[in-house]
Amino acid sequence: MAEPVSTPVIRVSGLVSRFGTQVVHDGLDMEVRPNEIFGIVGGSGTGKSVLLHAILGLREPDGGSIELYGKDVQQLAAADRSALVRSYGVTFQNGALISSLTVAQNIQLPLREYYPVSEQTLDELAELNLALVGLPPDAGPKYPSQLSGGMIKRAALARALSLEPKLLLLDEPTAGLDPISAAAFDELLLYLHSQLRLTVVMITHDLDTLFRTCSRVGVIVDGRMISDTLDGLLQNQTPWIREYFHGPRARAAEKDTHG
Amino acid sequence: MTVLALEGADGDWHLHLNGDWSLAAMAQIEAQLETLPGTLQGTLACDWSRAERPGIGPAWALLVRLSGFTAQPLEIRHVGDPPHFLEFLEKLHAERHAARAGAEPEPSLERSVGKLGRWVVLQGTEARAVIGFFGRIVRVYDGVFSRPHALRPSSLARHIYETGITAIPIVSLIAFLISVIVAYLGAQQLSRFGANIFVVDLVTISVLREMGVLLTAIIVAGRSGSAFAAEIGVMQLNEETDALRAMGMNPIELLVVPRVLALVISLPLLTVIADAMGLAGGGLLSLVNLHIPLPQFLHRLRESLSPTTFWSGLIKAPIFAILIGMVGTYRGMQVRDSSRELGRLTTVAVVQSIFLVILADALFAVLFVQIDF
């Protein structure tokens, strides 16, 4: 059942992304192994979201290849590609909940699209996904505009989980949350990760989240990625990485976790 | 295929889970869960050993169904290598079950009375808000004309360009085509009486009195009324209007007044262009289809006009402009919270402004007949 350890869930090799003359990724390599939480960090404009979009197939790469579960995404036929897309769950920066649907309907949207199940079962599954992310049952009939920032992030996660993915891709899951909500989200993510045996790829600016949850971290510097464990990165002498992990905020976050 | 088999008797039950238990088989699973008996007593062992690729959703559905057995006590065990997440789901389910026990649905009568009450209150506040909005605009206008700086010439110019100049091609084209159609159909009828020349009267009076201004207003309502609502709505969603207020500026003065004023200036000008294009269309059709030479057309045109014909059309344009501008900006200012509101209110803005324009046009028609204008 479990993939052999040698097959990475995601392997990006030599990715090139260009916007006009501006080169964002210049031969970027990345590898995500099964059952790990992989953090992606980088300064503003280094193309973290662009990388996520390329992995999701929302953007054609200008060079290089992207393999998911050992299959080259660009070589796949459209139908296989859409089946592959269904096998991972995604949350976007601002939740990207469909604003004309309630939270429960948002969760049911992909289920309704792909599986012919009854309304009662759909309600049960919505209830399940709300329970998974720790939202109260009365959040189901609410519209996204009635939710707080933290609840929107959780609802987006519930929708991402609805098709029972093995891989979760999260774009800044804790951005804009207060520290308590953000910490609660970290714990939720760790809990789901251990209970459901998910592989998680997460873009984040939140150093606390990074230190609390991630087993490995990839830093985008100069269009390439340097991946290592946190301890490894703390020793890294690349100027940007040094500044990132030894700045005043990083030291505080690190002390909280290790000390 | 059966994914579910209940075996055993009298207090010792075995539930075998077979085959595909992934989310893809959910339809089958839910159907077969329905076939389980309503009551069971004793012990029940769920055997997962032959379930393939068990999914979270189906496992949850099973737990929900198992908890529905009446006539407890029933002791449920899971055997045969149950999926790793089952314990987690059982815990979640227990929590949810406890939470739901307290909830009671609202009686339907109370709910519908409550709905009616909310609707009435909503209509009341809506009416008050409309009056308040108009009041604020009037107050701002009062201040604006005493301070020429507050007229914001650059903003005004931009809106005149966007609502007026860029609308010239479509307004011209539609006015031209409609008057060609009127002249063509009119000629069909009038030629039976040998009264071809009256096509000129028909075109002149209908275009100048009604169609020029009405068509222009409807096109502008569709183009600019919706644009006003959408622009201001997006600013509301981005909290830009709140930012303006926080800096001590008045969004009505900055956003609403220039737009309404721009429409009041550009709609009459567009009407003049539409009138001209309409007459040109009538003239062209008369020439081609009815063989009325241009000098004769112009002569007849001058004869059919009374001094007020042109003005009775044009005078309506500023009134229509105020209606369109105010409805568009008001609906834009109403956008709150979600982009769904933005789409809805933009549509409302167009529909209401067209309705109000036509209503006002009807009132003008009655008024002009009464005062013989």
Q: Confirm whether A135 is domain-assigned.
A: yes
The DSSP annotation for B190-204 comes to HGGGT-TTHHHHHHH
Where do the domains of chain B lie?
4-101, 152-370
CA distance A153 to chain B (A): 16
Interface size between A and B, measured as CB pairs under 8 A: 66
Q: Confirm whether A2 is domain-assigned.
A: no
pLDDT tens-digit profile, chain B (373 residues): 677 788 777 777 788 888 888 888 888 888 888 887 777 777 888 888 888 888 888 888 888 888 777 556 677 788 888 888 888 888 888 887 766 655 566 678 888 899 999 999 999 998 898 888 888 888 887 777 777 777 788 889 999 999 999 999 999 999 999 999 999 999 888 888 888 888 899 999 999 999 999 999 999 999 999 999 999 999 998 889 988 888 888 888 889 989 999 999 999 999 999 999 999 999 999 999 888 899 999 999 888 888 888 999 999 999 999 999 999 999 999 998 777 889 999 999 999 999 999 999 999 999 999 988 7
Q: What are phi and psi of B369, to 5 degrees?
A: -65, -45
Q: Confirm whether A157 is domain-assigned.
A: yes
Interchain pair A132, B92: CB under 8 A = yes
Task: Give the nearest partner residue to B27 out of A115, A131, A132, using CB atoms.
Answer: A115
Q: Confirm whether A160 is domain-assigned.
A: yes
User: Rounded to two decimals, what is the model's pTM?
Assistant: 0.71
d(CA A52, CA A50): 5
Q: What's at B156, amino acid-wise? A: L
Task: Give the nearest partner residue to A115 out of B24, B85, B339, using CB atoms.
Answer: B24
Cβ contacts (< 8 Å) between B85 and chain A: which residues?
Answer: 195-197
What is the value of ipTM here, to two decimals?
A: 0.77
Q: Is B4-101 a domain of CATH 3.30.750.24? A: yes
Question: Which residue range is the domain that position A159 belongs to?
Answer: 97-164
A117 touches chain B (CB under 8 A): yes
- Most A CBs within 10 A among B93, B340, B344, B345, hence the mutation to make, goes to B340
Residues sharing a CB contact under 8 Å with residue B147, sequence separation 6 or more, in sequence order: none
CA distance A195 to chain B (A): 6
Q: Confirm whether A139 is domain-assigned.
A: yes
Name beta bridge partners: A16: A26, A63
d(CA B356, CA B362): 10
Please give the tally of structural domains in chain A: 1
- Most B CBs within 10 A among A101, A121, A161, A198, hence the mutation to make, goes to A121
Interchain pair A131, B95: CB under 8 A = yes
Name beta bridge partners: A67: A11, A72
| B70: DSSP letter | B
**What is the 3-state composition of chain A as percent helix, strand, coil, each rounded to the nearest 5?**
45, 25, 30
Interchain pair B23, A144: CB under 8 A = no
CA distance B207 to chain A (A): 43
Q: Confirm whether A79 is domain-assigned.
A: no
Interchain pair B337, A163: CB under 8 A = no
d(CA B282, CA B181): 9
